[in-house]
Amino acid sequence: MFNSIDSLEGIITEVEEELLSAKRYKLYSDNWTKELPSLGGVYIIRNEEQVVYVGETANIKDRMHKDMRNTQNHTIRRNIGKYHFSEQTEYYPASSKKKFASSIEELVDQHCKNNLTVSAVVVYVGRLEVEEFLIIKYEPIYNSKSNGRSLK
């Protein structure tokens, strides 16, 4: 008999393995989004070997190209600012309606550029399930509280 739980776990494991061995792109490097597919999938962001963020999207290339550099469009940037730069005098919380002060935006850009890489794989069905599994497994520091993780 077909066991859908075993099948889902198998799919998630395969996606995880593929994601961990997928090509890494240095955030914000020249043409870093050029090779990414314009399809739905799951992505991980790492600082060296540590998974620091897990996300899913309907279009990997657009998410990286259009949203990843915009604090109002991507939670990771807001969480990086909060996690690393909240002690700065110019710091105030950013949101989907308001960016950080320009000096904090520059610090977030530099942190991303100097420390983070992204890997992505196409996933046709079950993106949310894969994302949730990986968030639970890796407990990435930049995933938001709404995903069950909190920042310091």
Determine contact, residues 20/137, Cβ cutoff 8 Å.
Answer: no
Percentage with pLDDT > 90 across the chain: 80
Q: Is the pLDDT of residue 98 over 80?
A: yes
Q: Which residues of 92-117 are buried (b: 16+ CB within 10 A; e: fewer)?
A: eebeeeebbbeebbebbbebbeebbb
Q: Is the pLDDT of residue 80 over 60?
A: yes
**Average pLDDT rounded to a whole number, residues 115-144:** 94
**CA 127, CA 120: separation in Å to the nearest integer?**
12
Q: Is the pLDDT of residue 128 over 50?
A: yes
Cα-Cα-Cα-Cα torsion 121, 38, 67, 81, nearest 10 degrees, comes to 10
Q: Report the domain count for the chain.
A: 1
Q: Is the pLDDT of residue 147 over 80?
A: no
Does residue 78 lie in a domain region?
no
Does residue 124 lie in a domain region?
yes
pTM (2 d.p.):
0.89
Does residue 93 lie in a domain region?
no
Does residue 33 lie in a domain region?
yes
Does residue 106 lie in a domain region?
no
Give the CATH number of the domain where residue 140 resides: 3.40.1440.10
Does residue 103 lie in a domain region?
no
Structure-token match 């639970």, residue found: 136
